[in-house]
Chain A
Amino acid sequence: MRALLHRHEFYLAALTLALSAGIALANPAFCSVANLFDLCQGSTVMGLFALGVLIVLVSGGIDVSFAAIGAFSMYVTSKVLLGLDFQGSAAVALVLGGAIGTLLGLFNAFFIGFLRLPTLIVTLGSASLFRGFLLAFIGTAIVNTLPAGMVRFSKLTLWEMRLADGTIAGLPASFLLLVVAALLVGCVLQGTMLGRGIYALGGNPVAAARAGFNLRGRQLFIYGGTGLLSGLAGVVHACMMRNANPFDLVGMELNVLAAVVLGGAGITGGRGTVLGTLLGVGLIVTINNSLILLDVPSYWQKVVVGAVILVSTGITARTGWARARGAGLC
């Protein structure tokens, strides 16, 4: 129980519950199953991006190219499948999008792992490069008719229920993708030497090299994996929107980074969990979605999100600092 009180995740969950209770009091519509499904749907794309960003932050790096990778994978996948007049399953779209994302991630990994350039510089550069290449050479027109498989996937639900007013609310199948990805990332980070090596790298890169970790291999995994998750997120986004807009996604970077940091990941590396990241995403999505239910103007959402980040991470930083102080370290 005491250990629970020391966990960032506990406070985050409590904050989300308190916020939800407040919103539910003001507008009972918040408590409906339909709204819950909406929140899950709204968390899927951001959650996939956030898992990738979590891995990068834990390793001590930072990635701002994931949205550009997502947009690139989404648009190219849609164009290619349309060009081939592909009628098969959306699984192929996900595999293709994931593969494109992985390749773009490995492009980052090359500069970071082999040329040892700073991660922020590399991903800032590659983000602009990917986006520019996409718009200049592949296209700027919105694809309004997606390949048949992607359209079918967008209508697929895990669970449906008929509401009192006769409409049907459903939990989209893509949410399952987020659940599986979260479980996988969680298992890799916590339960394998590959994942522990990423924490070690984020905690003390010099010691990680001395200990004999294969750091280049890890950079390939970190940025390749983030690319994979970003590519999947892009394809899922297109399915949800029922179109592929090459101008979409870019601009989400700060929100996703904010969610991950809110979830307890340290911007200086070595800290962060999947659970915290999902809670951070959940909180930000709840704020964004629910303030609409309360008739709060959308500009205020930004103010609220900003305030929550400052207060929440501020408290964690202060308590961590106080504890270090108690141990005679500062």
Chain B
Amino acid sequence: MRPAIVAARNISKSFGGVQALREVSVALHRGEIRGLVGENGSGKSTLIQILAGVLGPDAGEIVVDGKTHAHLDPREAIRAGIQVIYQDFSLFPNLTVAENLALNTELEHGTRFVSRRRRRRIATAALARLGRDIDLTQTVAELSVADKQLVAIARALLHNARVIIMDEPTTALTQREVQTLFGIVADLKAQGMSLLFVGHKLQEVLALCDAITVLRNGRNVAEGEAAQFSPGDLVRHMTGRHLQGRPRATTVSEDEDLLKVTDLSKAGAFAHVSFAAGAGEVVGITGLLGSGRTELALSLFGLAPADSGTIEIAEQAVRIRSVPDALRAGIAYVPEDRLTEGVFAEQSIERNLAISGLSAWAHPAGWISPARLRRVVAPWLGRLRIQTPSARMPVAGLSGGNQQKVVLGRWLATQARVLILNGPTVGVDVGAKADIHAQIRELVGHGLTALLISDDLRELAEVCDRILVMHRGRIVREIPAAGCDENALARELGRLE
């Protein structure tokens, strides 16, 4: 077997009594793309940080080019050619693209005075290696997520990187951007680069990687060529349980349209949108970025009201000009970005669960009894299977999946009838994803209607009863989910481009 460029051997690490890693090993060879998969809390991030030298292991060793280290420090890691692309990209939004690219190099060379020409030269060279063109004088805040990622990758390459570790790089990307990223990763591989692709979107990992290492609860549970694994195998290894993909108890009561939208238009966003959804139905809405799907959701929830058209709930016309209007009509919205839009991270779980229904639970005089709040909220902890020692813990302490459940529960507790879910499982691991999907189905089983806005075609095909495809602000296709799989959906979407 070829020698590995970087290998972690029998790494153990604990944080204050919690064993994050137990004798974990992973090795990267030249020109190899290795997937590192596992649920949140399985130890992926700890392992990344140990490889990057940010954390030191309690036991085990790191071998770089055959040389053994008990502990790598960040500078040694960089000198060895190991670069991490963090999920947040670690860029400076206020600085230009050129400066973001050049800053680390300048710092490394001990530069004292800045030269624009040198900065430009470094930046141009960095982007040229990716074969991409980005306006160097723009500030990073003005770039799209995909371009920010390009800048982060280009910057990593400047340090004679041989090993690039990408921490969940596709989380915030659209389908098309993911394809572009995969093209870049393939190019880098062809240049002899090794990549550690950390993620939990299994289709992506299987499509991209040569080999896969699976972690569960801080241990190696499976490892091998990607071709040996099926998605089902990976899920089983990651979760340690058997999650079945489908059997959806379709309890659609066709007789009543709970939500009926007629000829809804908003200038610059969407036009003449009409559809209906029955109680017990999950209707998927998909389309490329800019198709108007998010704007449609926002207007149904009163955040950006539509210009014309009608919305009916249970055959009653409702006027939705604001969020309170929508809440009164029984429409709830679970936002895309759970951290910035969804939870109050510093506040307790019970307060987060209660926030959207406060006016309903408050005493008419306006004060709120904590005991009453607790009573209202308590059943949801169990029903949503939120794993926490106490409902008074801050939400920030929960894992991503559990945070998403809190957001979901917050709206369910308001007794909503129509639930708009915008990318409910973005950035959520497989186990929690399955829980959320099951939850959605359970909810509609109780007579709710769910609108599921998503990029994840597999999710759409698995969870929805019907899928509406939006393009340039209009609904262009309606696809029944029965007999539809993600490949068929991908073909439909591909036709639109």
Interface, chain A (partner B; CB < 8 A): 190-194, 196-197, 199-200, 202-204, 206-208, 210-213, 266, 269-271, 323-324, 327-329
Is A270 within 8 A of B92, CB to CB?
A: yes
Is B114 within 8 A of A328, CB to CB?
A: no
Interface, chain B (partner A; CB < 8 A): 74-75, 86, 88, 90-95, 99, 103-104, 106-108, 111-114, 141-144, 289-290
Is A327 within 8 A of B95, CB to CB?
A: no
Known: A203-B92, A207-B90, A213-B107. 15 other contacts (CB 8 A): A190-B114, A192-B114, A193-B112, A193-B114, A194-B112, A196-B99, A200-B103, A203-B94, A204-B91, A208-B92, A212-B74, A212-B104, A266-B94, A327-B142, A329-B141
4 closest A-B pairs by CB: A270-B94, A203-B94, A203-B92, A207-B90
Is A204 within 8 A of B114, CB to CB?
A: no
- The docked-state distance in angstroms from the alpha carbon of A207 to that of B93 is 10
Is A207 within 8 A of B92, CB to CB?
A: yes
22 A-B interface contacts by CB (under 8 A) = A190-B114, A192-B114, A193-B112, A193-B113, A193-B114, A196-B95, A196-B103, A196-B106, A199-B94, A200-B95, A200-B103, A203-B94, A204-B91, A207-B92, A210-B74, A211-B107, A212-B75, A212-B104, A270-B92, A328-B289, A328-B290, A329-B144
User: Which chain A positions have C-beta within 8 A of B88?
Assistant: 206-207
Given contacts A192-B112, A211-B103, A212-B107, contact A324 B142 (CB under 8 A): yes
Secondary structure at chain A's binding surface: helix, strand, loop or mixed? Answer: helix
User: Which chain B positions have C-beta within 8 A of A199?
Assistant: 92, 94-95
Is A202 within 8 A of B94, CB to CB?
A: yes
Is B103 within 8 A of A192, CB to CB?
A: no
B153 CB to closest chain A CB (Å) equals 15
CB contacts between A and B, total, < 8 Å = 73
Is B90 within 8 A of A204, CB to CB?
A: yes
- The docked-state distance in angstroms from the alpha carbon of A178 to that of B221 is 66
Is B142 within 8 A of A191, CB to CB?
A: no
- The docked-state distance in angstroms from the alpha carbon of A234 to that of B141 is 38
User: Which chain B positions have C-beta within 8 A of A211?
Assistant: 90, 103-104, 107
Which of B86, B92, B99, B143 is the most central at the interface, judged by chain A CB atoms within 10 Å of its CB? B92
User: Which chain B positions have C-beta within 8 A of A329?
Assistant: 141-142, 144
A133 CB to closest chain B CB (Å) equals 36
B318 CB to closest chain A CB (Å) equals 27
Closest chain B residue, CB of each to CB of A195: B114
Q: Which of B74, B93, B289 contacts A204 (CB 8 A)?
A: B93
B422 CB to closest chain A CB (Å) equals 15
Is B94 within 8 A of A271, CB to CB?
A: yes
- The docked-state distance in angstroms from the alpha carbon of A324 to that of B88 is 18
User: Which chain A positions have C-beta within 8 A of B142?
Assistant: 323-324, 327, 329
Q: Which of A190, A191, A208, A324 contacts B141 (CB 8 A)?
A: A324
Is A206 within 8 A of B90, CB to CB?
A: yes
Is B92 within 8 A of A200, CB to CB?
A: yes
A320 CB to closest chain B CB (Å) equals 9
A99 CB to closest chain B CB (Å) equals 25
Closest chain B residue, CB of each to CB of A200: B92
User: Which chain B positions have C-beta within 8 A of A204?
Assistant: 90-93
- The docked-state distance in angstroms from the alpha carbon of A192 to that of B113 is 4
- The docked-state distance in angstroms from the alpha carbon of A234 to that of B164 is 53
User: Which chain A positions have C-beta within 8 A of B289?
Assistant: 328
B344 CB to closest chain A CB (Å) equals 20
Which of B90, B91, B103, B106 is the most central at the interface, judged by chain A CB atoms within 10 Å of its CB? B103
Is A203 within 8 A of B93, CB to CB?
A: yes
User: Which chain A positions have C-beta within 8 A of B143?
Assistant: 327
Is B94 within 8 A of A196, CB to CB?
A: no
- The docked-state distance in angstroms from the alpha carbon of A199 to that of B95 is 8
- The docked-state distance in angstroms from the alpha carbon of A327 to that of B144 is 6
User: Which chain B positions have C-beta within 8 A of A327?
Assistant: 142-144
User: Which chain A positions have C-beta within 8 A of B113?
Assistant: 191-193
User: Which chain B positions have C-beta within 8 A of A323?
Assistant: 142
- The docked-state distance in angstroms from the alpha carbon of A213 to that of B95 is 15
- The docked-state distance in angstroms from the alpha carbon of A212 to that of B113 is 17
User: Which chain A positions have C-beta within 8 A of B86?
Assistant: 210
- The docked-state distance in angstroms from the alpha carbon of A212 to that of B75 is 9
Closest chain B residue, CB of each to CB of A197: B107
B14 CB to closest chain A CB (Å) equals 24
- The docked-state distance in angstroms from the alpha carbon of A190 to that of B113 is 9
Is A196 within 8 A of B93, CB to CB?
A: no
Closest chain B residue, CB of each to CB of A269: B94
- The docked-state distance in angstroms from the alpha carbon of A192 to that of B91 is 19
A200 CB to closest chain B CB (Å) equals 5
User: Which chain B positions have C-beta within 8 A of A271?
Assistant: 94
- The docked-state distance in angstroms from the alpha carbon of A125 to that of B400 is 38
User: Which chain A positions have C-beta within 8 A of B104?
Assistant: 211-212
User: Which chain B positions have C-beta within 8 A of A190?
Assistant: 114
Closest chain B residue, CB of each to CB of A211: B104
A184 CB to closest chain B CB (Å) equals 14
User: Which chain A positions have C-beta within 8 A of B107?
Assistant: 193, 197, 211-213
User: Which chain B positions have C-beta within 8 A of A200?
Assistant: 92, 95, 103
User: Which chain A positions have C-beta within 8 A of B114?
Assistant: 190-193, 196
User: Which chain B positions have C-beta within 8 A of A270?
Assistant: 92-95
Closest chain B residue, CB of each to CB of A272: B94
A188 CB to closest chain B CB (Å) equals 10
Closest chain A residue, CB of each to CB of B78: A212
- The docked-state distance in angstroms from the alpha carbon of A324 to that of B92 is 15
A264 CB to closest chain B CB (Å) equals 12
Is B144 within 8 A of A328, CB to CB?
A: yes
- The docked-state distance in angstroms from the alpha carbon of A329 to that of B138 is 14
A276 CB to closest chain B CB (Å) equals 14
User: Which chain B positions have C-beta within 8 A of A203?
Assistant: 92-95
Closest chain A residue, CB of each to CB of B109: A193
Closest chain B residue, CB of each to CB of A204: B92
- The docked-state distance in angstroms from the alpha carbon of A41 to that of B228 is 79
User: Which chain B positions have C-beta within 8 A of A212?
Assistant: 74-75, 104, 107-108
